[in-house]
């Protein structure tokens, strides 16, 4: 009986690992991931969190705030309410009007580049993106090319926070 077990161990050959297919996959996959990493970085928008220390240092400077409520968008300068945009009948907001308000504020304060978007809990992502777009850039018709629009930068440095 002892002889039978020992003969089984000697007859088995250890197989060789063939990693050629795996190496081929890595040769293709690694450059592809490195190339696409650059494109994904271009789509990232850097955001800041508003801090209390910055607010005390810049009391005389405009602190633009857009507060997103369930039923309204409230635009303020940190001390007073500038405008209120009520929700329309189809549960959306007038983002063109918000953009017009932002353009008017930018015309009065051309040196200001920061704005805070303050959100209530459970705010829809689409609303956040549309508000951020209206605060960051303004699209105006191009006088040279009818039917096309020109983007103007308004407040590119956006900070996100919780609504008071």
52-162, CATH topology level: Nucleotidyltransferase; domain 5 (3.30.420)
pLDDT tens sequence across 58-88 = 556 788 999 999 899 999 987 888 899 998 8
pLDDT tens digit sequence for 27-66: 999 988 888 776 655 555 666 666 655 545 555 678 899 9
**Can you list the pairs that 74-82 forms with residues at least 24 positions away whose Cβ atoms lie under 8 Å?**
75/101, 75/102, 75/105, 77/105
Read off the pTM. Answer: 0.64
pLDDT the model gives residue 164: 82
Residue extents of the structural domains in the chain: 2-42, 52-162
Using DSSP bridges, classify how beta strands 114-119 and 64-68 pair: parallel, antiparallel or unpaired: parallel
């Amino acid at each position: 009986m002892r002889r039978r077990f020992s003969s089984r161990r000697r007859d088995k050959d250890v197989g060789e690992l063939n990693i050629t297919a795996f190496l081929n996959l890595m040769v293709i996959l690694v450059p592809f991931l490195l190339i696409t990493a650059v494109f994904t970085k271009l789509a990232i928008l850097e955001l800041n969190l508003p801090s209390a220390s910055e607010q005390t240092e810049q009391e005389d400077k405009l602190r633009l705030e857009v507060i997103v409520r369930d039923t309204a968008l409230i635009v303020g300068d940190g001390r007073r309410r500038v405008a209120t945009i009520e929700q329309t009948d189809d549960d959306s907001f007038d983002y063109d009007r918000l953009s017009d308000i932002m353009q008017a504020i930018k015309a009065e304060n051309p040196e200001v580049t920061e704005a805070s978007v303050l959100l209530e809990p459970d705010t829809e992502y689409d609303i956040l993106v549309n508000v951020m777009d209206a605060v960051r850039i303004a699209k105006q018709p191009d006088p040279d090319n009818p039917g096309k629009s020109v983007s103007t930068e308004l407040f590119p440095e956006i900070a996100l926070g919780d609504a008071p």
